[in-house]
Structure 1
């Protein structure tokens, strides 16, 4: 699997796009109007310094910073790097006006609009930065962040005022993309790993990737064969990089979380290192370890180890993706969006 996973990249793109949209609106509003009682600074580059210099405005900056830290701590995509997030990228569950619950609401269209507007806002914000540091580098942006509408109607025109001509509304492009979501059902199948149970010693672990699933094959101290997810549910640490098997329990090599290999049941959560481990565990919801059913091929056993996996897991994961620039890592069939 490719790291960082496209899930992590999509989360980052949406976050940057949303911040850029807020910044773009803030630059325009700051140039034309101000809230009474707060510093009046038309140059957006100096607005933050002016806020720091004002007692009331500085308290507002502190409030915004604390709110941002709470949101980041709550929705940090810690599992996105390895593609194990338990939510869709960008979905924070924030819908106070209930738009998504209205009849006929098209979620996919709304998500695509947000993605495109966010990309456009990032380009626009980059243009403002370039214009501020290299005046004249961006066509249409002068010394100020916003040109007043007074430029449209000029009183110095020889034949009266020059008015903007209303342009007819452009028709929708006939080549506009139409995105659909394909529903892909699970397809379970036994897949050979190329490993033999006889070649595994008790407490030995082997990592394999089958149909897009990261799986860890091993044996308990008693020699019983098992299969579990290779990524720790905490922050996606590969269990194959130093995990210990004690009896029928596997222990994560990073923070010491332990799980039953037979059921995936969580036993201990982030017990090491002292202080740091338990603190990181408080920030992330406790989860059980993913388990896989394993067997030995052949009528009487003794063949390759086989694992029961969903061969459509990767396809189902990709089918619901917004088709954007970051999807260039490719589809499951080797083609690109």
Structure 2
């Protein structure tokens, strides 16, 4: 069994040992810090049903013109939860926002790159399965990559795009993690927008989408999309729409296409994500995690290996 704690629960748990969580965090960043036994236990009962099945990741590769062995990955998960037998409706989890919007974005980006000048590095368009079952498709890819991870420049993840229209803000989930964010800033400035971290950090969104498997392996990853501050209707409108979706449609059969969606914001977001990938695919740089990131040591070790490309 795996799980994670909210910050509030972690503080209470640590406090029960007579210690302070923030103090421990500061001490953990210094040399000589040692773990200690908490004498805590957890009792839980749950039932599970095991069913074997087979599902596929779908991969498309656009070879680079100069360095085809190096690749930038665009990724989205194509799966959802299947079907539930309910009293009304067909019970199909359509997953229109989560994540047909991301898959549609991948297809648009692939077409844009395919019709334009061939990038120097390869572009790999990856739609993974079983995200909703525990990020299993991306976990499999990371263990069996089409392009070696030390030749993978970065990963751009599209998951549940914002369909409420144009927004002034752009949400970078886990903001402050990697140098990929440095490429986002000028692209947003050209649109008159700004980047912000996710609002509900306690919900752990960074750890619940497929880029996380790449991050754990050391590959810099960006998970970003439109925010809530609607250009015309303001932030409260955007937050209300997001809250309604989470309450009424998220992971429910009602997450289906609605002709009233305003996709103008998705278009702007894709322009930004296209720009990030285009810059990476036509440069020699090898972005890394920021020094404060827990994933940086993995990337450093990967790039220091004898077969790794020289970092720029």
Fold similarity call, TM over 0.5 = no
TM-score (norm 1): 0.22
TM-score, structure 2 normalization: 0.23
State which structure, 1 or 2, has the greater radius of gyration over its C-alpha atoms.
1
